[in-house]
Structure 1
C-alpha cells in the first residue's frame, strides 16, 4: 500500500477571497485522505472568508513577508541552514538566479526558503507550490536545502509574467507540474522540452456548493424602465479583468435599453472604475458591492440575468487562465459573455453555451450584451447549455482524483 505523505503546501497568501479554487483543492485533498501543512508568504488582507476556509483543518505557518521586519528569525534560520549540505548546493542556483534577476525580491525568496527549512512543519515530507512564480521560487530553494522533492500547480499570471529561463529551470527540477488551461499546458510543455511530467488539470467546481439552480430566470428584455435586465461581474478591479472595457461597452448600449450593472470584488483600481462610470454617464446604473463571501456571490448569480467578464492580456503578459467565476456563473445556468482569452474558449463556445467576443473591443462586447438583453430566450437556452457543460466536464472531483493519482504514483515509485 502506498504510504501517504504529509504535504507542505506553499502559497503566496492565505486565505484569499479571490482564490477559492485553491481552497477548494486543499479541502478536496484533505477529504481524499491527505495530511497538509500550509505555508504562506503573506498574511491575509481580506476582511471576509469563504465557508470553505473554515472547513480546512491544516495548520497555517506564515513566513516573514519582508526579511528586514524579522531579522532575528532570519538570522536563526541562516545559522540553522549553514550546517546543512543542501544549503551549499542551493547557493549556485540562487546566485545564478540573482545574476539574472538582481532584485530584493529574489533575495527575499531565498531568505524565506531558509526560514521554511529551519522551521520545517513536523512530519512534512513533500513540498507542493501553488503558483510557479514566487511561491515556486521559495519551494525550489527549500527543496534543494532540505533534499525534499517538490511539485507545482501553475495557474495564469505566474506563467505568463515569468521569464522563460526561470520557468524552464523550475520545470526541470519538479517531479511534476499541473496547470489549468490548454494554453498554459502547451506553453509549459514546450519550456519543459516536451517532457511528460507537465499535466493539464482543470480546477473544476465543487458542485455540492453550487447546486442546480431551481429558480426561474426573468424574461425581461430591457424594454421597460421598471424591469431592467441585471448584468453582474465578479472579480478584482485589476487591469487583466477588463472592467474598463466592460464599462465602456455598457455606455455604448442604446438609450432605449434598460439595464443595471453590479460589480462584486475589491481591487486596486476600484476607485478608477467608479470615476470612469461617472465619466461615461452610467454611474446611476452601476452598483459596487465590494468583496463578498462565496455564499453571497451565489445569491447574486441566481438573481442576475447576465454575467459579463472582459478578460484581456496586459502589456506585461498577465492574463486570466480560466476564471473560476465564469465556471461558477455557468453552473447556475446564468448566461455568460466573455472574451476569447486563455482558457475562456475551453468553457464557452460562442453561440453554443455563451457569447465570446474579441478582447479590447467595447463595441463587440456591447453588441453581444445588447443581443442578450433583448433576447431572454437566448439567455435561457445558452445558460442551460453552459450549466450542462460545467456539470459534465468541470466537476472538481476529477481534478482531485488526478492529483491524488499523481502524488501516489510518485510516492509508489520512491518506495
Structure 2
C-alpha cells in the first residue's frame, strides 16, 4: 500500500505541475557545452592534472580559440563551451582519438535555480538582504542551498534576480501556482532551464546571432520582422516554429466545435480536427476525422463544408500515390525511374509546355485513352484514376460511388 500511495502522489504531483505550466520557456540562451571526465565511466580523478592533458589536445584543433568559448574546471568534471554545435562534435572526436581514457557527457548538471523580476532601488540589490527578505515573506525553509546568486539590471529599475533553490522550497512555491510573494504583491517565477531560441526564424536549434535562415514573422509567418499587418486583426495566425496553424485564442477542439456548429453536424467522439498544416501562403490543409453519419450529411450537400461566410470543398483522404514526373499512379515522383512525361501533351518535358493554354490539345498522360479532348491528366473521369480509387477504397468504410477526390490530385 505504501508503494501504491507513493506512486499516486508522484502522479498527482506530475499532473499538478503540468496543469500549472510550471516549467517556463523563458530560460537564458546557453551555448553548446560538453562535460569531460578524465577517467572512463564518467569518473573524475581530482589528483590528476586535467589541464595539462586537455590543453595540448585542444591546440590541435584548427582555430581552437575561436571555436571554444570557455573552459570551466570543476571539482568533478570539466565543462567546455562552444560557439557553435558543429564545433562541439569536432572537438569531441578529437578528444576521443587522443585521450581514449576520457569519458564525455552532453547534459550539464546545473544546480536548480529560478529567476524572477523585481522593481528595486539602488540600495536593495544586495544578494544577502534579498535572500533573507524572500525567505521571510514566502515562509521558505532556511538551508544552505536557497540563496540569491545574481542580480542583473534589465531596464531602468527592473532587476532580474536569480535564486538557487532547494527541492523542498521549490515544492513550496509549486504549491502556490508558481508565484513568489514580494512586499504587497506577487511575481511570476521561472525555471532557468537555458533554452536556445532564435527570435529571427522562430526555431529552437540555434541562437539569433548564429541564424542563417530567412526572417519569419512570429505572428503570420511572413518575411518581415516588425510592423506585422496582422498584429491587431483577429485573423488565422500560424506557428512558425511547428509549421502549423492555430486560431487566435483557439485550439483544435474549438475549431472542431466551430465546424460542427456551422454545418449542423452531429457531435460525437469520432468527428474531430486532427491536424492543420500549411501548404502555401495563407492556405492550410485541414484533416478531419469524420463519422459515417456526418459524412453522409456532407455528401447530401455535394461535398461542400460551410466555413464562416463561404464554403469549401472537402475530399476523401484515401492516400493515392501519383507521380507528377511520369503521370502514373503506382509510385511517387521521388521514386520515379521512368521517362519524363508532360501532363498536358505527353511530350518529354515538365515545364513550359506550348499547349498549356490550348485545352483542345490537352490529353491524358496516365491512361491509354490519350485522344485530344477526351479528358485531361488526373481528371476524375480518367479510367486509370478511377481504377486506382476503386482499388484503394476497399480499405475504407466508404462506397466507391461516393468518393470525393480533387479535380487535380497533383495539386494536393
Same fold (TM over 0.5): no
TM-score by length of 1: 0.20
| Larger Rg belongs to | 2
Q: Using structure 2 for the length normalisation, give the TM-score.
A: 0.21
